[in-house]
Amino acid sequence: MGRSSYRALILIGDGLGDRPVAEFDGQTPLEAQPTPNLDALAAMGECGLMDPIGVGVPAGSDTAHFAMLGYDPHKYYTGRGPLEALGVGLEVQKGDIGFRCNFSTVKPGPKGRLIVTDRRAGRIKTRTDELARTINGVGPIDGIQFIFRESVEHRGALIMRGEGLNDGLTDADPHKEGQPVRPVRAKRPEARRAAAALNTWIAEVHKLLQHDPVNQERRKQRKRPANIVLPRGCGVAPHLPPFKEHTNASGGLVVEVGLIKGLGRFLRMNVLDAPGANGSYDTDHLSLARTALEALRKSQIVLCNLKAPDLAGHDGNAEKKRETVAKLDEMVGVLLGSLDLGKTVLVVTGDHSTPVSVKDHSGDPLPITIAGHGVRADDVREFGERPCAQGNLARIRGTDIMPILTNLIGVAEKFGA
Amino acid sequence: MGRSSYRALILIGDGLGDRPVAEFDGQTPLEAQPTPNLDALAAMGECGLMDPIGVGVPAGSDTAHFAMLGYDPHKYYTGRGPLEALGVGLEVQKGDIGFRCNFSTVKPGPKGRLIVTDRRAGRIKTRTDELARTINGVGPIDGIQFIFRESVEHRGALIMRGEGLNDGLTDADPHKEGQPVRPVRAKRPEARRAAAALNTWIAEVHKLLQHDPVNQERRKQRKRPANIVLPRGCGVAPHLPPFKEHTNASGGLVVEVGLIKGLGRFLRMNVLDAPGANGSYDTDHLSLARTALEALRKSQIVLCNLKAPDLAGHDGNAEKKRETVAKLDEMVGVLLGSLDLGKTVLVVTGDHSTPVSVKDHSGDPLPITIAGHGVRADDVREFGERPCAQGNLARIRGTDIMPILTNLIGVAEKFGA
């Protein structure tokens, strides 16, 4: 860990960026909402636009956080599956392959096929831990261990562990209801053994779940049984050096999304849970801010993410997105009230745009402002997509953020002599 | 093809960018010429500077179009020869090597050498198709096929087809008059067989052309005989995935330059000829604009190129370049009169700078404006090198254009989840 008493805090509004909205006279939600604290920060700071991955490239939350934490996703990202496993708290080891999974409902179809009638098993909410115990009784198969863990609602994650596993596996999940379960295929010869074992596992899990007491009760309650587990998004365990080693600074993480939490734990960051922060609209956003301040006591660089703006973007709800922007602004108010910007760098940006007109992630760049210790402030006085674009930072990438921060807090290593 | 009803049109002024011109009080031709339509577009759009290849790198029309169509030329460009072959309509296959060629005039010199007296054979304009028929009678040589096709005036293209051909071949063309024809040499051992075959082909073609009736008549008319074909710019057939596959959008092309047309056909784009568009100063530029609109009916992303500004740049004629800018502005007027910018993205830029003071391509960046669906308009009110540099796009590269457009029209794929 670099010897420096300076600190940096990155506050991320998840899905913060947006496009012009007609009901706001062509302003974005961020531009339309009064944000006195964000504007004060922009006035103190240096502003710009930030492309999480590259110009025009729609980023996932996962790849964007890889980049912003200093891990170029083109080099380090191995897919959603292993990250999901990290997110539910499974310990992913070198050589493992990981999947995200759904509990789903199937019924027998023609030619012995299983037809998916509900990809989310009636959005099952309870007793999936009991189902997981049943599931973890299956295997090893052909010397391969299967480790499953349930997540929220119908979600779960799976790890396959064994010698010489290859992640070239297709999804069992057909991604559409009314379709048969897809036999997992090997995309390359080296993956054949894993494909065969996984197909066997899926079939055995189905047999056990079919008669599991949890599902017998669900049938009685006229709920859809969670009678199969469908893996998808296969990827090999990523090779990620720990944050402190990679960045030369100790790192802390205060986020609401399990996936990013899991990533932080894997990077051996100091991951703190904020009481009352639930990843929903009614999250305790001020608790997130306070917990981020707490994390800064122990860690030199802390990343904090408010999930709500992304929810509003996916919901296509412009007014709601404005409200989440107001919450982000309140968080900045709390931070500004506590931080000594003579010793701290405070960054605000987003991980990707989720425009309410698109209802999904887009490749539009994010506004960013960097204020505090060592920063050459510019003339921008307002935090927003277009005001920030006029700032002196010009246009940077997600992977530029860590070098900027380690430079400002004085732990960056010189390249050359 | 991504399911999206949005469309994008890229209008390129070939060689559009320029430098300050003394007779325009230090303005560029683009800045000096009143351009009401381009300025209106800039006012509606987001502006910036664009480096076709990289900062300061002078781009060819070919490499710039590779980049702007989404194919990084550092990865995909294999030289001018195979592109020239595509441009004249030859069908280039995997493993082929291609050359651009000149019909030239040679006379016997000392030590049995052939001296090039005119690299362009008196800028021969007629009956090169007859010469091509004679030429295509030569071969196969050592199992290698030779396929030649004439282009405009003294130009042509050659393909060599056979097993295990290597493109490490030097030019036969000495690039200077009064010099002997250069024996083609292998730059690496694997190219020796191709070099030997090509030298044999050049000699046999020369023997046949020497006595060809076309040349006998030229001699009678006191014109220089086209008595040799000199290949140069050898390159292997490029591996280019089709535009639709590469970009996730169907593509259309309305251009005047054969080379780019050939590229478009190779990419399986919808290539339309604009009636009256001849690539000269007196081209029917409004026909180009109308044809681009027509192409948009079928294709999601259309690129349209007006060649004339580049001609004026090469001619070093600032007043003429202003006139071509006026034509580009008229084209934008036609487009703005027809396009629904609520559903379409309209981009205007150039493929490279051809400053009248340089009379050749230069590495100066191009102005760019992107207007229409989803765009966060900025405060720029004038289209020109310096006004656009103040815009929110900041500074992008040629390869950024396709990601920006596929993002805006909603066909871009997310990286991550």
Q: What is the pLDDT of residues B142-179, one digit of tens each?
A: 999 999 999 988 999 999 999 999 999 999 999 999 99
Hey, are the CB atoms on A26 and B377 less than 8 Å from each other? yes
Find, in chain B, the residue whose alpha carbon is nearest to that of A84.
B417
Residues A65 and A172 in one domain: no
pLDDT at A301: 98
Contacts with B403 from chain A: Cβ below 8 Å: 54-57, 363
Shared domain check, A140 and A16: no
Is A211 exposed, middle or buried (CB count within 10 Å of its CB: 0-12, 13-18, 19+)?
A: exposed
Indicate whether A417 belongs to any domain: no
A80 contacts chain B (CB < 8 A): yes
pLDDT score at A4? 79
Q: Report CA-CA distances (Å) from B287 to A77, B36, B65, B291.
A: 48, 20, 21, 6
pLDDT tens by residue, chain A, 417 residues: 456 799 999 999 999 999 999 999 999 999 999 999 999 999 999 999 999 999 999 999 999 999 999 999 999 999 999 999 998 989 999 999 999 999 999 999 999 899 999 999 999 989 999 999 999 999 899 999 999 999 988 999 999 999 999 999 999 999 999 999 999 999 999 999 999 999 999 999 999 999 999 999 999 999 999 999 999 999 999 999 999 999 999 999 999 988 899 999 999 999 999 999 999 999 999 999 999 999 999 999 999 999 999 999 999 999 999 999 999 999 999 999 999 999 999 999 999 999 999 999 999 999 999 999 999 999 999 999 999 999 999 999 999 999 999 999 999 999 998
Half-sphere exposure of B254 (CA within 13 A, CB side): 31
Number of domains composing chain A: 2
Cβ-defined contact of B413 to A386 (cutoff 8 Å): no
Chain B neighbors of A26, CB-CB under 8 A = 377
Distance from the A21 Cα atom to the nearest Cα atom in chain B, whole angstroms: 9
d(CA B298, CA B292): 10
Is residue A21 included in any domain, yes or no? yes
Chain A residue numbers touching B378 (CB-CB < 8 A)? 386, 389
Out of A236, A253, A283, a domain closes at A236
Write down the pLDDT at residue B1: 45
The span from the CA of B342 to the CA of A20, in Å, is 12
Residues of B within 8 A of A394 (CB-CB) are 394-395
Contacts of B48 (CB under 8 A, 6+ apart): B367, B368, B388, B389, B391, B392, B393, B394, B395, B396
Mutation pick from A31, A57, A314, A390 vs chain B, by most beta carbons of B within 10 Å, is A57
Closest CA–CA distance from residue B36 to any residue of chain A (Å): 24
pLDDT range class, residue B324, cuts 50, 70, 90: very high
Specify the pLDDT at position A258.
86
Q: Which residues of B touch A363 (CB under 8 A)?
A: 403-404, 406-407, 412
Same domain, A323 and A379: yes
The verdict on residue A416 lying in a domain is no
Say whether both A298 and A353 belong to one domain: yes
Question: Domain for residue A137, yes or no?
Answer: yes
Q: Which CATH number goes with the domain that contains A276?
A: 3.40.720.10
- Put simply, the answer to whether B415 touches A80 (Cβ < 8 Å) is no
Cβ contact (<8 Å) for A58 and B374?
no
CA-nearest residue of chain B to A233?
B417
What does the alpha-carbon distance between residue B61 and residue B361 come to, in Å, rounded to a whole number? 9
In this prediction, residue A3 carries a pLDDT of: 67
What range does the domain containing B296 cover?
A: 7-76+240-408
Residues A255 and A172 in one domain: no
Q: Is A180 on the interface with B (CB under 8 A)?
A: no
C-alpha distance from B61 to closest chain A C-alpha (Å):
23
Q: Specify if B2 maps to a domain.
A: no
Distance of CA A159 to the CA centre of its chain: 19
| A279 has a chain B CB within 8 A of its CB | no
A233 touches chain B (CB under 8 A): yes
**Are the Cβ atoms of B412 and A358 closer than 8 angstroms?**
no
Considering the domain architecture, whether residues B277 and B346 belong to the same structural domain is answered as yes
Among residues 322-381 of chain B, which lie with CB inside 8 Å of chain A?
Answer: 374-378
Of A236, A270, A304, which one is at a domain's C-terminal end? A236
Tally A–B CB contacts below 8 A: 89
B63: in domain = yes
Quote the minimal CA–CA distance from A188 to chain B in Å: 21
pLDDT of residue B112: 87
**Which residues in chain A are closer than 8 Å to B377, comparing Cβ atoms?**
20, 26
Q: Are residues B375 and B269 in the same domain?
A: yes
Q: Are residues A159 and A210 in the same domain?
A: yes
A256: closest CA among A376, A377, A351, A387?
A: A351
Q: Which of A236, A264, A289 is at the close of a domain?
A: A236
Which of the residues B376, B393, B396 would you substitute to probe the A interface, choosing the one with the greatest number of A C-beta atoms within 10 Å? B376
Do B226 and B305 belong together in one domain?
no
Q: Note whether B407 contacts A364, CB cutoff 8 Å.
A: yes
Do B326 and B177 share a structural domain? no
List of chain A residues whose C-beta atoms are within 8 Å of the C-beta of residue B405: 56
Same domain, A245 and A265: yes
Residues of B with Cβ-Cβ distance to A28 under 8 angstroms: 376
**Residue A110 counted as domain residue:** yes
pLDDT of residue B2: 54
Confirm whether A364 is domain-assigned.
yes
Please tell me which residue of chain B has the smallest CA distance to A391. B392
Same domain, A59 and A171: no
The answer to whether residues A160 and A197 touch, using CB atoms and an 8 Å cutoff, is: yes
Please report the pLDDT score of residue A139 as a whole number.
85
List the single residue in A55, A66, A385 with the smallest CB-CB distance to B396: A55
